[in-house]
Structure 1
Amino acid sequence: MSVTIRENYHHGELRSALIAASDEIIRESGVEGFSLREAARRAGVSPGAPKHHFGSIVGLLTEVAIAAYGQLARYLSDALVANQTAEQKLQSLGTAYVRYALDNPGHFRLICRKDLVNRHHPDFEPAVYSAMTGFVLTAAEYYGSTFPPETDQAVHPGIVAAVSTIHGIAHMAIEDKFSFVLGSDEPEAELLGTLLPSMLNFHWPVRDPQ
């Protein structure tokens, strides 16, 4: 659904309209298809309005990235069910992470772009933590560690490896890097239904109850 074009905005409404227009462009065309001029056109404001209100393309896209992390947080929180073991939770969360990337490739690429996102924005780090804390804590549980670690300890390498693994799989998925092992006319469905579960079970095998 297109952003509604209006001639007059209050200050907060204009910011929201520009963020919504930018979100729409990223969803349709990815970062490569984004421009401040197109965001302004869709919001129905002057070409200079985005820079005036956000300072730069980075300022505006940072707001889109913060919202993207909010959506990722919902994907991950919705993936969990009651009474799962740590390995089951890691597999569920990992699947949700990859599904988010496949459903939102433009936004996933955006949150990976340090040149287009201001990671020092006061709302950026809290958005990342809100999205990823559940996965990180589950990895800590799986590896028998704690997060955050004690002041004299480093983060458990298993936690770092877990985040790196699922992020790498998601990135490869949206770049269609698994096509060499997928022999289906519906590679995304096969990835989510067959290959990904086997990969995640390889990394975090579900143990038989004792």
Structure 2
Amino acid sequence: MELESSLRERLIDVGVDIVMTDGTALLGLREIARRAGVSHGAPRRYFPTHHALLSAIARRGFADLGSRFAAATDEDASPRDRLRALARTYLGYAWEHGGMFELMFRHDLLNSEAQPSDLPPLRESTLPLFAHIVELVTRHTEERTAAGPAVPPAVAAAALWTNLHGAAQLRTWGSLQLVLDATSQGAPDGGDPFDLLLDAVLDAHLGPVAR
């Protein structure tokens, strides 16, 4: 049993390495098996379908992103500053690890139930990350106004996440660079134009910074 678990984890490890270095194009069962040093039929003993193995690899991506969220935030910072740190981490992860980011949000994998029965559907891997955003949006709103939120915090958090995810995709595709034109429309004093974009996103969903 321990050997089987070790082999199963090695297949996932190899898949993670492939997607991190080469993207998703080489994530076939045969290539994963070859790099893991096992027969091409070996992955089927641990994963009933190709989707099941890809889901296990994507699950590692969510765990990695969660760890990066934890490392990026200062518990003593304001909720808004912590949300800004999370947003930068999210955009940075999508930019630096585009293959894994793409895999994590593939619709066919998120909806797939072909995985070990002791694991929840892949889509549920997003819930802890989203719950953290909702918590910070709630705390920010409570500190900002005694009148209560204009919309439920979960709705505001979903709108913020939607905006960030769209920005991440557009940056990966090169569209944001085109419209922001960093050479002439960038941030003042040679700053990063994406920082201006990030501030605009936060202002749109959290309200502008109080002066």
> Which interval holds the TM-score relative to the shorter structure?
0.7 to 0.9
**Relative to total residues, which structure has the larger helix share, 1 or 2?**
2
Q: Aligned partners of 1:27, 1:69: CA distance in 2, in Å?
A: 13
Query: Is structure 2 residue 74 aligned with structure 1 residue 81?
Result: yes
What is the match of residue 36 of structure 2? 43
2:176 aligned with 1:183: no
Q: For 1:171-210, what aligned pairs fall within 5 Å after superposition?
A: 171-180=169-178, 181-184=180-183, 194-202=192-200, 203-204=202-203, 205-208=208-211
Query: C-alpha root-mean-square deviation of aligned residues, in Å?
Result: 2.6
Describe how 1:70-109 pairs up with structure 2 within 5 A.
Answer: 70-109=63-102
Q: What corresponds to 2:127 in structure 1?
A: 129
Q: d(CA) in 2 for partners of 1:119 and 1:165? A: 25
Mapped partners of 1:83, 1:19: distance in 2: 36
User: Is the Cα contact below 8 Å between 1:101 and 1:174 reproduced in 2?
Assistant: yes
Q: Distance in 1 between matches of 2:111 and 2:48?
A: 12
* Residues 165-207 of structure 1, C-alpha deviations (whole Å, 9 max, x = no match): 11111111222221212335xx9xxxxx622221222233332
* Deviation string, structure 1 residues 126-177 (Cα, Å, up to 9, x no partner): 5323333322221233345xxxxxxxx9764312101111111111122222
Aligned position for 1:60: 53
Residue aligned with 1:33, SS: coil
Given the two structures, how large is their TM-score scaled by the length of structure 2?
0.77
Partner of 2:156: 158
Residues 98 and 157 (structure 1 numbering): CA distance in 2 closer, same or farther, change over 3 Å?
same
Q: Contact between 1:86 and 1:141, CA under 8 Å: does it hold in 2?
A: yes
In structure 1, the gaps of 5 or more residues are: 1-8, 145-152, 188-192
Query: Per-residue displacement from partner, 1:102-133 (whole Å, max 9, x unpaired)?
Result: 12111100011021345555343553233333
Shift of the alpha carbon at 1:21? Answer: 1.0
Residues 1-48 of structure 1, C-alpha deviations (whole Å, 9 max, x = no match)? xxxxxxxx9211110111011111111222222110000001111111
Q: Which residue of 2 aligns with 1:170?
A: 168
CA distance in 2, matches of 1:196, 1:179: 9
Residue identity opposite 2:19 in structure 1? I
Partners of 2:10 and 2:97 lie apart in 1 by: 20
Which ranges of structure 2 fall in alignment gaps of 5 or more residues?
143-150
Contact 1:136–1:163 (Cα < 8 Å) also in 2: no
Q: What count of residue pairs does the alignment treat as equivalent?
A: 186
How far apart, in 2, do the equivalents of 1:11 and 1:194 lie? 48
Sequence identity, in percent?
Answer: 25
